[in-house]
A = this chain, B = another copy of it.
Amino acid sequence: MYRSHSCGELRSSDINTEVTLAGWVQKIRDKGFMIWVDLRDRYGITQLIFDEERTPKDVTEKAKKLGREFVIQVKGNVIERESKNDAIPTGAIEILVKELTVLNEALVPPFTIEDTTDGGEDIRMKYRYLDIRRNPVKNNLLFRHQVGMKVRNYLSQEGFIEVETPYLIKSTPEGARDFVVPSRMNEGQFYALPQSPQTFKQLLMVGGMDKYFQIVKCFRDEDLRADRQPEFTQIDCEMAFVEQEDILSIFEGLTKHLLKEIKGVNITEFPRMTYDEAMKTYGNDKPDIRFGMKFGELNAIAQHKDFKVFNEADLVVAIAVPGGASYTRKEIDKLIDWVKRPQIGAQGMVYVKYNEDGSFKSSVDKFYDQEDLKKWAEKTGAVPGDLICVLSGEANKVRSQLSALRMELAERLQLRNPEEFAPLWVVDFPLLEWDEETERYHAMHHPFTSPKPDDIPLLDTNPGKVRANAYDLVLNGNEIGGGSIRIHDKETQALMFDHLGFTPEEAKAQFGFLMDAFQYGAPPHGGIAFGFDRLVSILGGQETIRDFIAFPKNNSGRDVMIDAPANVDSEQLKELNIKLDL
């Protein structure tokens, strides 16, 4: 036993106790006749004191040679601290050291082990084991554990069973790219790592498991954008004999429970919105509803005047920016430049200042009078003092541009409070989406999502209009979960594969086992999956997932700490019956 107490637990009531502590040297202050050392472990910091008069001389000598991040063990007495430190729980006491053992020395760390470090992203990743010693990263990992435990205990109490599904499965060309694993024992064949346990959880429903969940790693070999990882964690859930309403209600319960238990937040409103409504109102299928700036569509009131730009537009749509009437001309020009950047792609922006005195001043005063502009204000909910920003063009594009502007302005106006939580269900997603590149329809969610029964005839006439029993859980503008009611009969599943461009042979080769299973008594079922990395980071008040993952990979999919991936020797490849083809 290297210690009697942790570095976070001693208090005034422990004064005069003999203790043994072990940990890392956080800080040393050497005043000559007296040395203070901050000793750190996972649980906190305790101040050690080496005192010319009361500490054996050889011990003090040893203390003088300590360096940052040395691992030491000390024995001593808990004494009252002269100048107390209210900032830490152990701040009332210190340890008068009698014995000191250096358990391990340490080189000078390549960056400071402090809450705010001087280390850049790259060096922090290379020495991730040092980065984890820092409170911000350490606390994120502790937080992640707590959230995981709460999720498991809640679902378990609700009758869900965690079932481990396999990691070595079969590659399917549908969806994202798979990571594959050559099989040595089955020459020339490959496993794939799961993009999700989708088909297995459906088979568990066919198998009568009724309520399933799993916190599970999933894999996608995609080109990595910022804040995407090739391996990520999902809370994966499925239920039998349910309709959409049952799923929404159970997972509203989970979300409320987590927010209450972890953040102390009571959620009273849990709104729902159709996909169409979300796109119309926020230009986005994962709207942040912590703040307003809802879209106002102006076609009816802004077209048929002489302003050609609007008249020719598919959609004229606007938002009211709170307090924006006070923006200077320069500020507004900058905003216009911002929406015209290639990443956003707007052609331009019309603006209207709704002055405090109730008058309007716009960039299109030539075409619209005060009465016209008052109607725009009504449509966008603008009040005196606001700035109305208007974009126009092709409906989908302009919605997406205005959505980006809305988010950017909310960020600037600090309307996105990380300690406020506004969950939302977005429902009735389209079943299919048109892919420009391949010129065919893809499953928006996945090929197992059930179309709304009333919309099935549209599959032949207007596939893009078919709505699915699919839903997303949105929290503060982030999609944290998504799911659907599944197809549970072979005929509908075959119809779906057909519409996705599978030949019957392809469908059978890839998903025959699932369609077979549907013939042996499949119950109606549906489910949801949460992005656990994302959920944890949003609950933690942050929007980047990387520091909630112990050992993340960089944007090239590399683990720079262990230097993976790496070359493997040719013997190993030979055994696997593959060779490089560079």
| A340 within 8 Å of B (CB atoms) | no
Q: Find chain B residues with CB under 8 A from A191 CB.
A: 179, 564-565
Cβ proximity bits A228-251 to B, threshold 8 Å, 1 near / 0 not: 001101000000011101100000
Is there contact, CB below 8 Å, between B523 and A180? no
With A191-B564, A563-B513 as given contacts, are A130 and B166 in contact (CB-CB < 8 Å)?
no
Residue in A165, A199, A210 whose Cβ sees the most chain B Cβ within 10 Å: A210
- How long is the Cα–Cα vector from A223 to B169 in the complex, in angstroms? 18
**A69 neighbours in B (Cβ, 8 Å):** 520-521
- List, in ascending order, chain B residues with CB within 8 A of A163's CB: 141, 144-145, 550
Q: Does A41 contact B (CB under 8 A)?
A: yes
CA distance A123 to B231 in the complex (A): 34
Is there contact, CB below 8 Å, between B129 and A141? no
Question: When the two chains form their complex, are residues A103 and B169 in contact, meaning their CB atoms are under 8 A apart?
Answer: no
Question: Within A147-186, which residues are at the interface with B (CB < 8 Å)?
Answer: 148-149, 152-153, 156, 161-171, 173, 177-186
A168 and B231 within 8 A (CB)? yes
Contact indicator B581/A233 (Cβ below 8 Å): no
Is there contact, CB below 8 Å, between A180 and B180? no
CA distance A561 to B204 in the complex (A): 13
Contact yes or no, A170 B578, CB < 8 A = no
Q: Tell me how far the C-beta of A24 lies from the nearest C-beta in chain B, rounded to whole angstroms.
A: 6
Q: Which residue of B lies closest to A107 (CB)?
A: B519
Given the interface contacts A168-B559, A558-B186, does A129 sit within 8 Å of B577 by beta carbon? Answer: no
Interface residues of A: mostly helix, strand, loop or mixed? loop
List the B side residues contacting A203 at CB < 8 Å. 128-129, 551, 561
Q: Which residues of B contact A152 (CB under 8 A)?
A: 149, 152
**Contact with A579, one of B127, B569, B578 (Cβ below 8 angstroms):** B578
The verdict on A219 contacting chain B, using a C-beta distance below 8 Å, is: yes
Contacts of A209 in B (CB 8 A): 42, 132, 138, 141
Most interface-central of A105, A190, A519 (chain B CB within 10 A): A190
A163 to B149, CA, bound (A): 12
Bound Cα distance from A245 to B2, whole angstroms = 11
Complex-state Cα separation, A103 to B206, whole angstroms: 13
Query: With contacts A191-B564, A523-B104 known, is A210 near B41, CB below 8 A?
Result: yes
**Neighbour of A130 across the interface among B104, B107, B520, CB < 8 A:** B520
Instruction: Assess whether B582 is in contact with A187, with CB atoms less than 8 Å apart.
Output: yes
Query: What is the CB-to-nearest-CB distance from A217 to chain B, in angstroms, rounded to a whole number?
Result: 5
- Cβ contacts under 8 Å, A149 to chain B: 152-153, 156, 162
Q: How far is the CB of A379 from chain B (nearest CB, A)?
A: 40
User: Which range contains the number of A residues in contact with the other chain?
Assistant: 35 or more
Contacts of A186 in B (CB 8 A): 556-558, 565
A190 touches B567 (CB 8 A): yes
Give the complex CA separation of A537 and B78 in angstroms. 49
A539 within 8 Å of B (CB atoms): no
B553 and A168 within 8 A (CB): yes
Q: Is B132 a contact of A208 with CB atoms below 8 Å?
A: yes
B residues near A561, Cβ cutoff 8 Å: 203, 513
Q: Does A370 contact B (CB under 8 A)?
A: no
A200 within 8 A of B: yes
A25, chain B: closest CB distance, angstroms: 8
The yes or no answer to A500 lying at the interface (CB within 8 A) is: no
Known A167-B217, A559-B168, A579-B578; contact A210-B521, beta-carbon cutoff 8 A: no
In whole angstroms, how far apart are the Cα atoms of A562 and B488 in the complex?
18
**Interface set, chain A 529-582, CB cutoff 8 A to B:** 549-551, 553, 556-559, 561-569, 572-582
Question: What residues of B have a CB within 8 angstroms of the CB of A153 in the complex?
Answer: 149, 153
- Residues in chain B near residue A181, CB distance under 8 A: 179-181, 193, 565
A71 to chain B, nearest CB (A): 5
Q: Given the known A-B contacts A132-B204, A170-B566, A520-B127, are A184 and B190 also in contact in the complex, defined by CB atoms under 8 Å?
A: no
- In the complex, how many angstroms separate the beta carbon of A257 from the nearest chain B beta carbon? 17
CA distance A1 to B244 in the complex (A): 9
> Pick the contact of A521 from B71, B180, B575 — CB < 8 Å?
B71
Residue pair A207, B168 in contact (C-beta under 8 Å) = no
| Alpha-carbon gap, A165 to B128, bound state (A) | 12
A519 CB to closest chain B CB (Å) equals: 5
**Which residue, A40, A148, A161, has most C-beta atoms of chain B within 10 A?**
A161
- Is A489 part of the binding interface, using a Cβ–Cβ cutoff of 8 Å? yes
Closest 3 CB pairs of A and B: A132-B207, A106-B521, A170-B564
A-B contact pairs, 19 of them (CB 8 A): A71-B523, A104-B523, A130-B206, A130-B520, A168-B219, A170-B564, A173-B569, A173-B572, A180-B182, A181-B565, A183-B557, A183-B565, A188-B567, A188-B582, A189-B567, A190-B565, A203-B551, A217-B217, A579-B581
Q: Which residues of A approach B to under 8 Å, CB–CB?
A: 1-3, 22, 24, 40-43, 69-71, 103-107, 109, 127-133, 138, 141-142, 144-145, 148-149, 152-153, 156, 161-171, 173, 177-193, 199-200, 203-204, 206-211, 217, 219, 221, 223-224, 230-231, 233, 241-243, 245-246, 488-489, 513, 517-524, 549-551, 553, 556-559, 561-569, 572-582
Known: A103-B523, A128-B203, A145-B161. 5 other contacts (CB 8 A): A71-B521, A106-B519, A141-B163, A142-B161, A173-B572
